Structure 1
Amino acid sequence: MTTEILTSEEAARAWIGDAFAPTAAHWTKLDRFINMLVAESAQQNLIAASTIPTMWVRHIADSAQLLALDTRDSDGLWIDLGSGAGLPGLVVAILSARPMLLVESRKRRCDFLRSVAADLALAHVEVVEAPLERVETRPAATISARAFAPLNKLLDLSARFSTETTHWLLPKGRNAVKELALLPQSWQNLFHVEQSRTDAESQILVGVGNIPAKQRGKR
């Protein structure tokens, strides 16, 4: 089945409404998050200025589609790597009650993430200000990463958080297939490619499972 590409702000909002049935409070929080993100981007480089007119497509729906792809009935921990501007982590946290761990090494970005979580009363969000290598190991039900690192490095750094049932949701733009081909064959077999809803030329790697230590970093 062909994936409908969201090409307007109206279409993005309509898709979010259909996919998640947000309450009035959810819509208010999404609007508030957008306003905070735009304001903070004038102070630090969180998002490209060129994307501000299309926030709902480029950032909100682009993040929310990962939650739509996490089709299991899970209330386990979601870890968002290199969370930066809170994309997708804060969008997922607004639209769901999943416990969310935002991993970000840059102080100013962590300050922003904490301010949004506090402002929007997202008590299920935890921000860890540290490189991923220094984050305490804990099992993740879902791991996401948007523009965090090349796939082989991403998996090498984060595999210790995964279990046999961990769900990986990894937007990889136009390089998804190329990056997947660099992994060990057994690891490649755990993933499939999904078309992005927000960019006809972008793809998302979706997988389930963990990577044995002896395979990490090997091709």
Structure 2
Amino acid sequence: MTGLQIDSLDREKAQHWLRENLSCSDPVIAKLDQFVGLLLDEAERQNLVADATKPVFWTRHVIDSAQLLLHVPRETALQWVDLGSGAGLPGLVNAIIAPHHRFTLVERRPLRTDWLNRAVDRLDIKNVEVVSAPVSALPDQSFDVITARAFAPMPKLFAMAKRFASGKTLWILPKGKSAKQEMSAIPGWQGRFHVEPSVTDGESGIIVGSLQP
């Protein structure tokens, strides 16, 4: 890292949160720690995360990703699709924590998909498929969960991804401080959506809901 070091207190608090709220074991925490190290090393070669977020990486990126698991059934095995996976946030984080789920990570940028594939290999993650293609190239299919972090505004996102959703598909969309504003962009959809507060930032929100059949 270029002089920006992980805040040890942030790391400690984040790992405590993971144990308390998602029952993460020591091996899972260790694998997340390895993931963080690999990602920060790769961030020296390509722009994966903002420099300002690196010291608080555990809260800003790991917990921000992991909190999405609070909105799905704990024990049910689900098929996830993560659109615009980029650095593997939230896809790889959640795949490490919840190995009984299956994750399809869709990313069109070759440098990013190369990183994702290398991370999957280095971390020996068995429940992930990386798709190196634009979302438009992914074949029609239904997923149980659709996620997208900092990917596209709501109208565009729905237009691109509704073909992956059944009436029961759960959309979990971290939208930061624009969550309530973006909710107003979808009044015409026959759906049920609401904003959940983010555990990492009281001013940020996650749009959660499902389309009606």
Shift in Å, 1:10: 2.8
1:147 correspondence with 2:159: no
Shift in Å, 1:21: 1.7
- Of 125-134 and 71-80, deviating more is 71-80
Q: What corresponds to 1:133 in structure 2? A: 136
**Preserved contact between residue 77 and residue 99 of structure 1 (Cα < 8 Å):** yes
User: Which amino acid counterpart does residue 146 of structure 2 have in structure 1?
Assistant: I
Measured against aligned partners, the alpha-carbon deviations of 1:139-178 in whole angstroms (never above 9, x if no partner) come to 1000000000001100110000001110110011111111
Q: What corresponds to 1:112 in structure 2? A: 115
**Preserved contact between residue 19 and residue 25 of structure 2 (Cα < 8 Å):** no
Provide structure 2 residue ranges, at least 5 long, that are not aligned to the other structure. 1-8
After superposition, residues 43-82 of structure 1 pair within 5 angstroms as 43-71=45-73, 73-82=75-84
Tell me the distance in 1 between the aligned counterparts of 2:168 and 2:89: 23
SS of match in other structure, 2:55: helix
Structure number with the bigger relative contact order (C-alpha 8 A, sep ≥ 6) is 1
Identity of aligned residues (%): 43
SS of match in other structure, 1:53: coil
Provide structure 1 residue ranges, at least 5 long, that are not aligned to the other structure. 1-6, 213-219
1:18 correspondence with 2:20: yes
Measured against aligned partners, the alpha-carbon deviations of 1:155-208 in whole angstroms (never above 9, x if no partner) come to 110000001110110011111111111113444x51011000111211000002
Q: What corresponds to 2:204 in structure 1? A: 202
Q: What corresponds to 1:215 in structure 2? A: none
**Preserved contact between residue 75 and residue 99 of structure 1 (Cα < 8 Å):** yes
Measured against aligned partners, the alpha-carbon deviations of 1:67-123 in whole angstroms (never above 9, x if no partner) come to 112236531210000000000000000000211000000001000001111111111
Shift in Å, 1:64: 0.2
Shift in Å, 1:24: 2.2
What count of residue pairs does the alignment treat as equivalent? 204
Tell me the distance in 2 between the aligned counterparts of 1:78 and 1:94: 13
User: Which amino acid counterpart does residue 178 of structure 1 have in structure 2?
Assistant: Q
1:123 correspondence with 2:126: yes
User: Which amino acid counterpart does residue 118 of structure 2 have in structure 1?
Assistant: S
